[in-house]
Structure 1
Amino acid sequence: MKLQRIEIENFASYYAKSDPIYLDTDPKKPLIIFIGGTGFGKTSLFDAINWALYGEEYESDLLKVKERSIVDYLNETALSEAANDDVRLNMSVTLYFEHDGDNGLKEYYIKQSLLLQPKKDKEGSISAQIVDRNHNLKEITPQGDHETIPYTRTFLDEILPNNVKSYFLFDGDRIHNLAKPGNSQEVQDAIYRVVDLEIVRIACEHLQETAIWYGKRAAKSAKGELGEVENAYSQELKFQNDLKTKIGDIKKERQAIKDQIELIDAKLKDLPETKTLQERKNQLNKELNQNRENQKVLKNQMREEASKAFLGLANVPLKELRDLLKEKRAKGEIPKHIRETFFQDLFDQEECICGTEFVAKEGNPVYDTLMIRLASEKNRSAEEDQLIDLYHVLNNAESIISNSREELTIKEDGVIELEKEEKSLVYQIQEIDAELGELPIEDVTILMSDRKKRKDRDDELIAELSTKQEERINSEKKLKELDDERKALGKKQEEAGAQHLRSELAKQAGDVLNTLYDDFAEKSRKTVEDLTIEEFKQFVISSSGYQVALSKDYSLEVLDSNGNRALQRLSMGQSQCLSLAFITAISRVSRKNPPLVIDMPFSRLDHSVHAAVSQRLPNLADQTILFLIPEVEWNKTTQPNLSKYAKHVYEMYFDETMRQTTITEVK
């Protein structure tokens, strides 16, 4: 999708019907730049583009985020004139664009229009009421005809889905806030929406519901014992699906709590009185995590050694057997059989040890007798070889058991020491928490109290999650048993068996899709992580000392050379560049190839990163529209980097008296 031009009528500070504002770009010049001071109409034009595309859905966003009604955007002068003349007036935005879809490149325009009735109250204040609204979507054919297309979400989702628009049409505040602690849920939502994982999740839920539905039908058509089993299976399947939902809800709540704790820790760290304590606590937490990892490793090793040391319980019979075999070897009883080579020599010479000559062929009495003896000796040979091997194994067993016991003792001592260290670390962290909570600053006390409540709730959720996961495992086992039973009984009842088969197929398909969902989610996270790292390095030249990561719980993280979290130590500019790197990664992952529309991208960025960001912006998308503040964002650093890639540069002027914006193209 690429925007071509926009026409505005009586929207915000744009009076009457404006001349077309051209937004076309080409591969060498992918930028459109609007330059205007605060209040000059930049954000209004940004809102106009959003409203044109999303209509009433964007109106809901305005009400929720900005607490503004779309009627509030009606131009003041136009409203006053219409009220004086007692006439209705229009407010509209028309956006022209092209889209390269499945049927090739086509041109379209979309128009949002309101018909409004002015109203005056007793005090003389003027307001407006919506009388009618229209939204039109039309295709411009090669012959020049304007054909109406149904204004549906299906079409809009193809060009720019509503659930990801905030990652392609965004403002400086989003850049400022995204990399702050506590935004993991928003980061996860962005990835899931852009790669359409929501569709897969809905499909999983539908298959689960289908499996239950067919299970109920199987239960209704079944008779006798099979009916009881089908009912039990159906109830167990529903219970298991409810468990999955509950487990998912618990994980989401835990993530929300984690985000909230991160926000509290960030606030605490900013307070001078807590800085030293908080840094010490962070170090202790790092040591505690490492300690617990070390314990896991040692305990796994202990399990391996214990399985060997356990053989010590059989030491006495093992020793008796080894001594018996040793005694038989000393007496020559093992081995005492005649080897195959001896018989082969007799066959080659065709002469028995008694001097009797014979022909080495079947039918010869001497040859046949020797062959019978050879077969007997072969069987004895294999048995006696096994006894010899057993003797050597028994010889080694005592050494293995002894070594394993020693290793087990050493590792057990190691675990005991680590457990002592763990208790000490936990105690030190609790002491710091207590000290932070007792600081004579009301804010710290409130924050620490809030943090403790959230941590306590998280502990409750961990216990509940463990219980639910155990219930899920048990439910899987029970389902398997019931399924085996219903299969056996279902063979005798054709209708119930058919419904059962459909239920089972739906469940299996849902399970497979769930696995694919998890795998695809992880691959998507890793892809976005790699692209975020790549973009961050281009935005921040001094990033070599930091390692950027998008953790498995979807937190944007920055680690220093020692592996410590360093997000809070980044400058504001570096932190915002991390957000911008993530947004850019999201844009690259999307297959919609959308335009990027960014309102005030530099407004909160340190001037130290203006050069790197302005050099990178022209390469982010095929079309990027920027709204910039003169001097602050359009300055001697950014202007040379951006202007050479700009197809159009517009300056915006605002008449304070008339309360109107005019736009002039300067390039």
Structure 2
Amino acid sequence: MKFRKLSIENYKSFQFPTEIHFPDSENGKSIFLIGGMNGAGKTSIMESINYCLYGGKADEIFRAINRKEIAKGNAAVSFELTAELDDGSELIVKRSWSSGVIESPKAKDLNERLVVVKDGKRVSVQNQQMWQDFIRATVPPGITQFFFFDGEKIQEIAADDHSEVRLKSSLEAALGIQNINQLSSDLLYLKQEERKGFVEISDEDLTFKESELKKEQAKYTRLNRERDEIKEDLTAFKEQYDEAKKRFQATFNRDPESRDAIREAEKRRIQTSNRLGQLENEIRGLCEKSLPFSLLGGFFDGIRQQIENERESLQGEAIKEHAEELAKKIVRVVEEPEPIYNERLSDEKMVELEKRIFNLLREGDAQAATDKLLNLSDRDAARILQKIEELENSDVFLIKPLVEEKQELEVELKKIESSLNSGSATESEQELFGQLQEEMESCATQIGRKTEQLRILEEDILSLEKKVREIEFEIEKLYEKHNVSKEKSDFINECDAIAGLLNQFIVRMRKSKVHLLQEKTFEMYKLLSSKSGLIKDITIDEKSYEVKISDRNGHEIKKSGLSAGEKEVFALSLLWGLSQTSQLNLPIIIDTPLSRLDSTHRDNIIRNYFPNAGDQVIILSTDTEIDENYFKVLESHLSGAASLVFNHQQELTTLKTGYFWEEK
């Protein structure tokens, strides 16, 4: 890959659209030199490339927008990078941020937009993420730190004895090992996902389930056979019962009764007979106690009246007998204690009143005279009236319904005895009666037993049919799972095999890559170092990536023991070794790499590193790093040069063709 053009607009001091073209030299290799004083925008070019390729956080972008444009309300910034891919196709990446038309825009108002154009054809917005992934795959962000770097990156690697250990993941990414590690991790993930819910079904599982099905099917067949046999027996018993019934009807001219019916009839006969006995005892008791007196029940009212009349007659006679005494008492009552009239009667009148009252009492009520038929004392009369009342309230009057019930039961008992009585039949008829009755009873019992057996069998068969269907369904699913299980098992085994091969490949690849990295790093270090004659070897650990530098005597030289210039030379050598070992054809962008180096190391880097760093090298330098002498050394390798001119008053950077003193 080679960069062909970079456009920057409204980013930091690049207020207006600025285009930087990167031409090729005749031999296909190119070193493009961009000069600029400190603060002119060299670092902005490096940042623009990174933002264009990978995007950035909105607040970072917002802070870097040109201050004058922000003051105008223009919160828009854009980058465009044109690159030629290794296959010769052209890729244009345009990335911009804008808040639109809004007053006092803020970082949160920025909206990012990515446009990718490949070979003149714009990629649809729906595929934006796919093309972002494509950009990252083409120019991996974890690796660009070894291709796009500045003096600070060199210082970071040079400052620490074990900086390369901390960069292990980035080093593996640059060497291509990280991709294999990721592939191995992906295989492990796929294997784990495949194992989720995975139950391995073996041939033994299928055999066991099929044997269970055969056993249940055999049981089902046996039950069906038993059902058919019971149906045949049931039909035979029914036919035998019907035949015996016809013979019974023909012989005895009536329908046969079952033993239960006969027993029921006998039970009813006994109950009826017992009730008749109870009724007879009740009737007999009533007759013995009250019936003789109850026969006179029609005379009870006359007797009561006669007793009452005789009582009244005795009272009249008693009044007559004491008439004189009563008359005197009545007269006295008229006068005493006080007269009841106004005019007092004379003695003569009082005597006359007494006579009249006496005569009245003596005469009495002629109609009240009654013949003394009973001539009872008051005690005897009361006893007779009480007895009459007891008889009228006694149960003797229930004797009629009892007699009627007795008559009905006697009729019913005769019917029952008639149905049970076979005494009129001959001995042979009675024997046939018993045989047919017993045969029908036996058949009825067998019919009931076989019917119940048939019902139970039908339920068992239905249950077994359901179970057989379930087992058949399970077997069908097992066969499906068996096939899936084999496929999954094969897939998991393949994952294990591939993972094993990948692990072996990683070990061998790491060894090979690290060995190549050692060679390339040492190769460049010998070209750049002023003490290359003192260094015998540079070795890198295959697992930790720790670098060891050995002198001619085989003693380890700590990186901290090297001079500042030697440390930076080592860092550049390591970076170059990584770019060569990675086999990625990416542009090398170097920002102010020589500021801390002495003249010897600078001379070596100018003459040996820049011309060999890569197919395309973009150098961002001040006039003191690459001065006129170094410019002349590089001039034959340059494909072009440009200068960044910064106007302090306007805070504006513009691009001029030519390097500082070559400005046109």
Structure-1-length-normalised TM-score: 0.51
Out of 619, 630, 633, the position equivalent to 1:626 is 619
Name the SS for the 1:112 alignment partner: strand
Distance 1:170 1:140, change over 3 A: same
CA distance in 1, matches of 2:123, 2:204: 63
Out of 584, 604, 626, the position equivalent to 1:592 is 584
Q: Give the structure with higher Rg (CA).
A: 2
Out of 116, 119, 134, the position equivalent to 2:113 is 134
Long gaps (5+) in structure 2: 207-477, 660-664
Distance 1:610 1:13, change over 3 A: same
Whether the aligned pair in 2 keeps the contact of 1:207 and 1:506 (CA below 8 Å) is: no
Residue 545 of structure 1 is matched in structure 2 by 535
Deviation at 1:528, TM superposition (A): 4.0
1:130-173 CA-partner distances (Å, limit 9, x unpaired): 343321111244xxx66668442342134212232222112111
Whether the aligned pair in 1 keeps the contact of 2:161 and 2:558 (CA below 8 Å) is: no
1:205-232 CA-partner distances (Å, limit 9, x unpaired): 3433444455554537579999xxxxxx
CA distance in 2, matches of 1:221, 1:505: 13
Whether the aligned pair in 2 keeps the contact of 1:118 and 1:128 (CA below 8 Å) is: no
Matches within 5 A, 1:501-580: 501-502=486-487, 504-526=489-511, 527-529=513-515, 530-531=518-519, 532-543=521-532, 544-551=534-541, 552-560=543-551, 561-580=553-572
Residue 93 of structure 1 is matched in structure 2 by 79
Whether the aligned pair in 1 keeps the contact of 2:31 and 2:616 (CA below 8 Å) is: yes
Name the SS for the 2:602 alignment partner: helix
What amino acid is the match of 2:550?
L
Out of 572, 588, 596, the position equivalent to 1:604 is 596
1:520-572 CA-partner distances (Å, limit 9, x unpaired): 44444443443422222222252243421111411122122333243221111
CA distance in 1, matches of 2:48, 2:141: 15
Matches within 5 A, 1:140-155: 140-141=119-120, 150-151=127-128, 152-155=131-134
Residue 198 of structure 1 is matched in structure 2 by 178
Does residue 105 (structure 1) correspond to residue 88 (structure 2)? The answer is yes
Does residue 664 (structure 1) correspond to residue 656 (structure 2)? The answer is yes
Deviation at 1:45, TM superposition (A): 1.2
Identity of aligned residues (%): 21
Aligned residue pairs total: 377
CA distance in 2, matches of 1:52, 1:582: 27
Does residue 581 (structure 1) correspond to residue 573 (structure 2)? The answer is yes
Whether the aligned pair in 2 keeps the contact of 1:119 and 1:129 (CA below 8 Å) is: no
Residue 173 of structure 1 is matched in structure 2 by 152
Distance 1:213 1:593, change over 3 A: closer
CA distance in 2, matches of 1:516, 1:536: 35
Deviation at 1:611, TM superposition (A): 1.2
Residue 269 of structure 2 is matched in structure 1 by none
Distance 1:138 1:26, change over 3 A: farther
Name the SS for the 1:15 alignment partner: coil
Whether the aligned pair in 2 keeps the contact of 1:2 and 1:97 (CA below 8 Å) is: yes
Out of 626, 648, 654, the position equivalent to 2:646 is 654
Deviation at 1:43, TM superposition (A): 0.3
Does residue 643 (structure 1) correspond to residue 626 (structure 2)? The answer is no
Matches within 5 A, 1:156-305: 156-179=135-158, 180-215=160-195, 217-219=197-199
Out of 89, 99, 102, the position equivalent to 1:116 is 99
What amino acid is the match of 1:4?
R
Distance 1:558 1:24, change over 3 A: same
CA distance in 2, matches of 1:555, 1:602: 26
Distance 1:158 1:212, change over 3 A: closer
Distance 1:524 1:215, change over 3 A: closer
Residue 616 of structure 1 is matched in structure 2 by 609
Residue 69 of structure 2 is matched in structure 1 by 78
Name the SS for the 1:603 alignment partner: coil
What amino acid is the match of 1:617?
F
1:50-83 CA-partner distances (Å, limit 9, x unpaired): 1111123xx48xxxxxxx7111111122222x24
What amino acid is the match of 1:535?
M
Whether the aligned pair in 1 keeps the contact of 2:540 and 2:546 (CA below 8 Å) is: yes
Residue 436 of structure 1 is matched in structure 2 by none
Whether the aligned pair in 2 keeps the contact of 1:217 and 1:499 (CA below 8 Å) is: no
Residue 344 of structure 1 is matched in structure 2 by none
Distance 1:13 1:54, change over 3 A: same
CA distance in 1, matches of 2:630, 2:79: 31
Whether the aligned pair in 1 keeps the contact of 2:594 and 2:602 (CA below 8 Å) is: yes
Distance 1:224 1:53, change over 3 A: same
CA distance in 2, matches of 1:499, 1:129: 51
Q: Which moved more, 1:24-33 or 1:493-502?
A: 493-502
Distance 1:105 1:513, change over 3 A: same
1:423-445 CA-partner distances (Å, limit 9, x unpaired): xxxxxxxxxxxxxxxxxxxxxxx
Long gaps (5+) in structure 1: 61-67, 227-492
Whether the aligned pair in 1 keeps the contact of 2:49 and 2:81 (CA below 8 Å) is: yes
Name the SS for the 2:199 alignment partner: helix
CA distance in 1, matches of 2:99, 2:480: 62
Distance 1:541 1:134, change over 3 A: same
1:476-507 CA-partner distances (Å, limit 9, x unpaired): xxxxxxxxxxxxxxxxx866665554455444
Deviation at 1:12, TM superposition (A): 1.0
Residue 5 of structure 2 is matched in structure 1 by 5
CA distance in 1, matches of 2:96, 2:586: 24
Distance 1:572 1:78, change over 3 A: same
1:79-123 CA-partner distances (Å, limit 9, x unpaired): 22x24xxxx4531111111113xxx411221111122369888xx
What amino acid is the match of 2:62?
V
Whether the aligned pair in 2 keeps the contact of 1:52 and 1:94 (CA below 8 Å) is: yes
Distance 1:212 1:98, change over 3 A: closer
What amino acid is the match of 2:171?
I
Deviation at 1:39, TM superposition (A): 0.8
Whether the aligned pair in 2 keeps the contact of 1:651 and 1:665 (CA below 8 Å) is: yes
CA distance in 1, matches of 2:491, 2:141: 31
What amino acid is the match of 1:15?
Q
